[in-house]
């Protein structure tokens, strides 16, 4: 019997929506694309972002502490945990429903609340730069900085936002449990929002005021699970050079050596395509035969079949 291809999928924000209502609709179409891969004979593990959701939760928790002085402000790590469960709840139910609609009844779905260890000496902690949450006036930003210890920065004339560190993932704490679930045939949702950032102090794990890039966390998950493919889903069908310019060039095939040259030449925007290409290169270089694919959600099936997307691999 031919062994199934093991695939880790990293879902971007466009696959999840920005509000409660949008998310419930978005996960239905997202689930169709994922179940398409199951029907192609793939074994799928799902990771996802949480940008809008964790910002919304953080804002709500801050509002609660303002209204009820007995409530302390909720740590960002706890907000990430909340977002994992909230997104997982909608996503796993949508996946189960879509599988049942296609008469697939033998694949259980489970969401794993996942902690990811980060290094307290990571340079990102010295220079927080990842914006989260809502825009604030100067007065609101000053209050948040004084009351909650937030680092706030002005954002391109649109107001002020909280910024946090985005350290690199070092270890997926629950990887043993995730591996067991995957090996038992379950469709696992893990590393939501890049994982709950934690720092190890002896035997104790403490939450960090940070967010982990979901592409890098997904890459580590794919390595740890010995996946064949890492699929990073985004808002474009392929990676481009000179994106949005008259000489824009779409890439079907990209080896890691050329990818690193393009990264050095600043072809990819930070906070957008850059971390996706960096994660793809890291995965492709981690073991011969591994391939990363960057494409649209609705093109994932065609991408695996080699019909579209940008495939990143060793030279």
Give per-residue pLDDT as tens, 251-294: 999 999 999 999 999 999 988 899 999 999 999 999 999 999 99
Q: What is residue 117's three-state secondary structure? A: strand
> What pLDDT does 51 receive?
86
Instruction: Give the residue ranges of the chain where pLDDT is below 70.
Output: 1-2, 14
Number of domains the chain contains: 1
> What confidence score (pLDDT) does residue 199 get?
98
Domain of residue 268, residue span: 6-117+170-313
For residue 299, being part of any structural domain is answered with yes
> Is residue 266, in this structure, part of any structural domain at all?
yes
| Predicted pLDDT of residue 270 | 87
Instruction: Determine the pLDDT at residue 55.
Output: 85
Q: Is residue 158 part of a domain?
A: no
* Strand spans (E) along 65-147: 109-111, 115-118, 130-136
Domain assignment present for residue 223? The answer is yes
- Asked, for residue 127, whether it belongs to a domain, the answer is no
Instruction: Provide the pLDDT for residue 196.
Output: 98
3-state secondary structure of 272: coil
Confirm if 315 and 301 have CB atoms less than 8 A apart: no
CA dihedral (114, 18, 310, 249) positive or negative: negative
Whether the model clears a pTM of 0.85, i.e. scores above it, the answer is: yes
Q: What is the CATH number of the domain that holds 64?
A: 3.40.1160.10
In a domain, 103, yes or no: yes
At what angle are helices 76-101 and 20-39 packed, to 10 degrees?
50
Domain membership flag for residue 141: no
- Determine the Cα–Cα distance for residues 122 and 165; give it in Å rounded to an integer: 9
Q: What pLDDT, on a 0 to 100 scale, did the predictor assign at position 14?
A: 66
Catalytic amino acids? 13-14, 130, 214, 276
């Amino acid at each position: 019997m031919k062994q199934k291809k093991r695939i880790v999928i990293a879902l971007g924000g466009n696959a999840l929506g920005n509000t409660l209502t949008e998310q419930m609709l978005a996960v239905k179409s997202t689930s169709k694309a994922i179940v398409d891969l199951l029907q192609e004979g793939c074994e799928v593990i799902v990771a996802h972002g949480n940008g809008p959701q964790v910002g919304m939760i953080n804002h709500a928790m801050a509002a609660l502490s303002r209204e009820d002085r007995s409530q302390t402000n909720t740590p960002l790590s706890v907000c990430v945990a909340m977002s994992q469960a909230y997104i997982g709840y909608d996503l796993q139910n949508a996946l189960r429903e879509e599988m049942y609609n296609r008469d697939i009844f033998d694949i259980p779905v489970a969401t794993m609340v996942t902690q990811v260890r980060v290094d307290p000496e990571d340079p990102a902690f010295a220079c927080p730069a990842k914006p989260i949450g809502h825009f604030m006036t100067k007065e609101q930003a000053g209050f948040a900085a004084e009351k909650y210890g937030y680092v706030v920065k002005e954002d391109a004339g649109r107001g002020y936002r909280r910024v946090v560190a985005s350290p690199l993932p070092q270890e997926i704490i629950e990887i043993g449990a995730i591996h067991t679930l995957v090996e038992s045939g379950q469709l696992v949702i893990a590393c939501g929002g890049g994982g709950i950032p934690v720092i190890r102090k002896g035997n104790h794990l403490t939450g960090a005021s940070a967010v982990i890039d979901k592409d890098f966390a997904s890459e580590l998950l794919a390595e740890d699970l010995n996946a064949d493919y890492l699929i990073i889903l985004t808002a474009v069908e392929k990676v481009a050079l000179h994106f949005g310019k008259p000489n824009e060039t779409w890439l079907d095939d990209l080896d890691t050596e050329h990818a690193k040259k393009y990264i050095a030449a600043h072809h990819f925007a930070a906070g957008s395509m850059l971390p996706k290409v960096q994660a793809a290169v890291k995965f492709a270089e981690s073991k011969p035969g591994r391939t990363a694919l960057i494409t649209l959600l609705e093109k994932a099936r065609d991408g695996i079949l080699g019909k579209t997307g940008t495939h990143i691999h060793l030279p």
